């Protein structure tokens, strides 16, 4: 394995490092290499890897967010490490181990603040995006999950242990923290819609999902899907689904049913379930293909060699692909022409044309998991 790593490093041409030739950042991205604590810098236009940054700690459950200029990535590691990666210089320019165990983070709408939600200890820490100096330390009565940015230098997060949801406003001299109410028993993840209108909290300790209208004067909890699965027997949950993958399409939410081989479709206005789609396994990510009626779904182990495409109008599976071994994540080109798929156990990132649904290229990567294009810098809630 060590030889392979060394070989891979040699094979990557140091394109960005060449003197004189300026590089634009709009089509770059990062692939989390979960076993080696590194990120691979990818170029979407060239279908290639252009560099690697190492030494980022435990990335076995990592995510990241981008600065507004699409130059810097803030990488949130499982070990509480927060690293600032410069994609042009191909190096970590700042790093802090800010907690014992963390779960993710977000950047403020103006790019000035980076917030991290922590397990050990719980709470939220907020850092200056430039220096990574600590700006605010907000304690919580447990593990924090579902941290998202909303406009006006604000963040929303949820506490796993108590079900409480908080809104933090960091636009003034001192943070102002407001309790929005209780989401329910053991919220496992949360997400905000792309218009920053609705904060959706998935529950594990009870059935259902809780919505908060963030445009309301006083946002409060509104529970839905409280009946789902009551008639069937639950299966063991092999992998908790990720709600950042929740698709919002055709006036609906497409949700992964926890512990079941099903997608659930909910009307965005009424919050009533409108359909269920039987799928290949327990869904992990349900992601809308941009500018299309389709969502793409991957699955929990041991059924994770498969990806399915579902039409949001008919709610039917229209394609079943088996791209490779241990499909962990998918990321679309922002206008939807391609989807990049990480196949962990093949050590490859696979690039599919979304119109023909055929592979057009592949890139070597070490146990790849999350794929993140810089276009995320411009999307509220990512």
Residues of the shown chain interacting with a copy of itself in the complex, contacts defined by CB under 8 A? 22-27, 44-45, 66-71, 87-89, 109-111, 149-153, 171, 194-197, 215, 249, 251, 268-269, 290-293, 313, 333-338, 354-355, 374-375, 377-381
Helical ranges in the chain per DSSP H: 2-11
Residue 289 near residue 310 (C-beta atoms within 8 A): no
Output the CA torsion 178→240→81→169 (10° steps): -10
366 or 374: whose CB is closer to a copy of itself? 374
Using CA atoms, how far apart are residues 363 and 340, in angstroms rounded to an integer? Answer: 10
141 or 216: whose CB is closer to a copy of itself? 216
Shortest separation between residue 98's beta carbon and a copy of itself, angstroms: 24
Shortest separation between residue 369's beta carbon and a copy of itself, angstroms: 23
Shortest separation between residue 70's beta carbon and a copy of itself, angstroms: 3
112 or 207: whose CB is closer to a copy of itself? 112
Structure tokens at 94: 């700042």
Shortest separation between residue 376's beta carbon and a copy of itself, angstroms: 9
Shortest separation between residue 215's beta carbon and a copy of itself, angstroms: 5
Shortest separation between residue 236's beta carbon and a copy of itself, angstroms: 36
58 or 267: whose CB is closer to a copy of itself? 267
Shortest separation between residue 178's beta carbon and a copy of itself, angstroms: 16
Long-range contacts: 198-206, Cβ < 8 Å, 24+? 198/268, 199/146, 199/148, 199/156, 199/165, 200/243, 200/246, 200/253, 201/146, 201/158, 201/165, 202/241, 202/243, 202/255, 202/258, 204/240, 204/258, 205/163
Structure tokens at 343: 């196949």
88 or 138: whose CB is closer to a copy of itself? 88
DSSP reduced 3-state for 378: helix
Residue at token pair 């909890």: 221
139 or 152: whose CB is closer to a copy of itself? 152
84 or 280: whose CB is closer to a copy of itself? 84
Q: In terms of C-beta density within 10 A (0-12 exposed, 13-18 middle, 19 or more buried), how is residue 237 classed?
A: middle
């Amino acid at each position: 394995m060590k030889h392979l790593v060394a070989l891979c490093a040699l094979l990557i041409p140091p394109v960005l490092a060449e003197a004189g030739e300026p590089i634009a950042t709009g089509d770059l991205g990062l692939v989390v290499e979960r076993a080696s604590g590194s990120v691979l810098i990818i170029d979407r236009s060239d279908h290639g890897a252009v560099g690697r940054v190492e030494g980022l700690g435990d990335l076995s459950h990592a995510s990241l967010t981008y600065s507004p200029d699409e130059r810097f990535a803030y990488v949130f590691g499982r070990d509480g490490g927060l690293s600032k990666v410069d994609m042009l210089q191909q190096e970590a320019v700042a790093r802090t181990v800010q907690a014992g165990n963390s779960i993710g983070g977000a950047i403020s709408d103006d790019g000035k603040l980076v917030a991290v939600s922590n397990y050990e200890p719980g709470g939220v820490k907020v850092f200056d995006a430039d220096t990574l100096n600590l700006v605010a330390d907000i304690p919580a009565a447990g593990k924090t999950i579902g941290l998202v940015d909303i406009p006006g230098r604000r963040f929303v997060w949820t506490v796993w242990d108590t079900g409480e949801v908080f809104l933090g406003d960091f636009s003034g001299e001192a943070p102002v923290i407001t309790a929005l109410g209780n989401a329910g028993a053991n919220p496992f993840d949360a997400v905000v819609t792309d218009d920053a209108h609705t904060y959706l909290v998935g529950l594990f300790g009870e059935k259902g999902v809780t919505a908060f209208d963030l445009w309301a004067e006083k946002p409060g909890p509104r529970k839905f899907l409280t009946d789902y699965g009551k008639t069937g027997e639950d299966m063991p949950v092999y992998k908790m689904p990720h709600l950042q993958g929740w698709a919002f399409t055709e006036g609906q939410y497409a949700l992964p049913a926890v512990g079941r081989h099903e997608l659930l479709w909910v009307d965005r206005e009424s919050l009533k379930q409108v359909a269920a789609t039987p799928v290949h396994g327990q869904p992990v990510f349900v992601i809308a293909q941009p500018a299309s009626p389709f969502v793409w779904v991957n699955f929990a182990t041991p059924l994770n060699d498969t990806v399915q495409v579902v039409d949001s109008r008919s709610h039917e599976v229209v394609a079943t692909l088996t791209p490779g071994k241990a499909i962990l994540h998918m990321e679309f080109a922002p206008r939807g022409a391609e989807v990049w798929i990480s196949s962990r156990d093949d050590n490859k990132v696979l690039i599919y044309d979304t119109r023909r649904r055929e592979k057009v290229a592949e890139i070597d990567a070490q146990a790849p998991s999350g794929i993140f294009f810089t276009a995320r810098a411009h999307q509220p809630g990512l």
